[in-house]
Amino acid sequence: MFSLILKLCLALLIPRLDAMLPVEYVGSRSILRTIETNIKNDGNREYGIEVNATNFDDVFRETPATYAVVEFFAHWCPACRNYKPQYEKVARLFNGADAIHPGIILMARVDCANKINSKLCDKFSIEHFPMLFWGPAAKFVSGSWKRKQENSAIHLIDEWRTADLLLNWINKQLGSSYGLEDVTYENEHVQTNTTDLQQIARAVYDVEEATATAFEIITEHKMIKSETRASLINFLQILVAHHPSRRCRKGSAEILVNFDTLNPSKVWSRGTLQLFRDKKVAMSDHQICGKDIPRGYWMFCRGSKNDTRGFSCGLWVLLHSLSVRIDDGESQNTFKSTCNFIHDFFVCEECRQHFHEMCSSVSKPFEKAHDFILWLWEAHNEVNERLMKDEASFRTGDPKFPKVIFPPKQLCPSCYSSEPKNGNRNISWDHDEVYRFLTNYYGEVLVSEYKDKDSLPNVETGKLAEELVASPNSVVVPFGAALGIAAASCGFGALAWLWRSRQKSRKYKHQLLKSI
């Protein structure tokens, strides 16, 4: 009888779990990627992103680009049709994952002949077609423009009639030298001024990029095994509670809730396991930070060469940003989870082993977050010292971003209690100042310009995931979460409780809870 009820519960649970998987939706993040597949019959790709009144604010709120160019046009207008190829020549430089100069300018278009856009076009006082506007991307969110308006952050572009004129106008605004013939991204405009504290504010996009890239590596290399499941679950718990990006927190929670479904273990019966396999549920189908991340480029972690910085930089920023958000009671668990995650899932063997050695050298548990934050900072500097020697020997370093001991004195003079003597290891640090700098740099400053909004639709996925995101100190057990959903679906609370109790006696459950 019990098994019959259990099968009924699972039968009701499966469609519900299926509904909880990522769905295709028309939202801001998906629209930003439409250019990847927006190819006309003649084979030419369109790079200008056409937005409308329903997604306009979301697109400009979510874009990582600092600036935006918006063309208001009408599809029936001959002049607009003739101008479109000129606009596309400029848009290809900035839009899309394969952009020549990504993450700088969003090139968008609004069709005012579409009735849905009437009020939007009125807000920008569109008098003729086409009209082009320039400004910080964030200023277009619920923005407007009037011809006699003073001190507006949004400006009418008056030199746009050819691609050359438009690009020259952009170059004047940015003090840049982009060219229509640019074909490879040489990272020539990277900022290397380490004294600019605000640079880190753009790094939250790289933290998203690094999180998504790490998860892709894990799934593509089939790295989730019986001996690594617990370490991934533990790390996901930390991401749910403390990731600086809300969409990554939410995506991590969705994966955590569905973990046993996405990556079934031997604890499931053969028949139940087959039911889930028939639904074609797979871990690789989940994008941990949203369906359109990774974007394919870096912003704060951009090197002057395409094969420098990038993922390793983003991963370090992720670890530091997590460390400054934990409470004292979480410090030892976060330390163990970080060490286990790098050991089990980082694919650079030499780096993985070196990090494992640093973790193994810690002789006593961390009782305060303060101590873990400083340990991670010291570990990072130890890695940098090792790489300094390697890069000097093999000449593989980034000339604009050589490895340095962090933070440099220009960035935090108060962190140094005396001048360095006889090499970096003899620096006399003021650890209290270093701690204050790290918590500010990877905490408040990191997210100071980040628009922490989520454009995902309000589907049922999410009610449990949202609870996990909003409850940073909760302990998440994927199996229990899934059973909780089953209980809600079936209405057999008592029987679900009994089944959960039985599962606790199983070896896998015991080991998982013990490890968590």
DSSP state letter for 283: G
For 63, the enclosing helix (H) or strand (E) is none
Task: Give me the catalytic one of 9, 80, 313, 339.
Answer: 80
Which residues contact residue 59 at a Cβ distance below 8 angstroms, ignoring those fewer than 6 apart? 28, 31, 32, 49, 51, 106, 108
Bridge partners, 71 (sequence order)? 109, 132
Buried b (16+ CB within 10 A) or exposed e, 128-138: ebbbbbbbebb
**3-class state of residue 107 by DSSP:** strand
**3-class state of residue 232 by DSSP:** helix
Which residues contact residue 345 at a Cβ distance below 8 angstroms, ignoring those fewer than 6 apart? 214, 217, 218, 223, 228, 231, 232
Work out the burial of residue 457: count CB atoms within 10 Å of its CB; fewer than 13 is exposed, 13-18 middle, 19 or more buried. exposed
80 catalytic, yes or no?
Answer: yes
Work out the burial of residue 317: count CB atoms within 10 Å of its CB; fewer than 13 is exposed, 13-18 middle, 19 or more buried. buried
351 catalytic, yes or no?
Answer: no
**3-class state of residue 222 by DSSP:** coil
Distance between CA atoms of residues 49 and 157, nearest Å: 18
CA 167 from centroid of its chain's CA atoms? 30
Bridge partners, 73 (sequence order)? 111
DSSP state letter for 302: B
Are β-strands 49-51 and 67-73 bridged in parallel, bridged antiparallel, or unpaired? unpaired
The answer to whether the beta carbons of residues 50 and 74 sit under 8 Å apart is no
Buried b (16+ CB within 10 A) or exposed e, 54-92: ebbbbbbbbbbbbbbbbbbbbeebeebeebbebbbbbbb
**Residue whose C-alpha is closest to residue 327's, from 448, 441, 242:** 242
Distance between CA atoms of residues 498 and 484, nearest Å: 12
Distance between CA atoms of residues 209 and 206, nearest Å: 5
**Count of alpha carbons within 13 Å of 156, Cβ hemisphere only?**
15
Which residues contact residue 42 at a Cβ distance below 8 angstroms, ignoring those fewer than 6 apart? none
Which residues contact residue 444 at a Cβ distance below 8 angstroms, ignoring those fewer than 6 apart? none
- Residues catalogued as catalytic: 77, 80
